[in-house]
Amino acid sequence: MLSENMQKALNQQLLMEAQSSQAYLAMASWAEIQPGLKGVTAFFFRHSDEERMHMLKFIHYINERGGFAVVPPLAQPTLTFVSLKQAFEMLYKHELEVSAGINDLVDMALREKDYATYNFLQWYVNEQIEEEKLARDCNDKLEMIGDDRGGLYLFDRDILSLDQDNKGPGRR
């Protein structure tokens, strides 16, 4: 059984995962209307779906532990970006915020001696290591490319393989 505080905190993280899905979806929609960003568009759509799955894991966990998972209202995400670099900078910042939320939950689970929740959260801890690395790698590559259109073409072409390269052994 979840404590009231833990249920509230897990629902807050559920909200963050839902907002992540919406943010990636907005990035995908923006990228889809930019010329030549098919790979980036697919990347953002795939990550939107992935974040939704993360949210659903929270919903199921909260409900299975005797709590009530609240489907949250969502704020409008950023819809347009001045550049692809800005979109990926926002993505990285957002992943750091998600990681901080997960870390706070882990800390709370340990303080409350809620080892089931601690165990559940370990998947998210590992997932965030992967997500942060991927976002950092994308930002590093975009920084190297600068305004080079040929480099941007290669980035777009290779982003899905970069995504696969950041999956460690046994992940997903």
User: Which segments are annotated as binding site for Fe cation?
Assistant: 17, 51, 54, 95, 128
Residue ranges of the binding site: 17, 51, 54, 95, 128
**Sequence-distant (≥ 6) Cβ neighbours of residue 115 within 8 angstroms:** 109
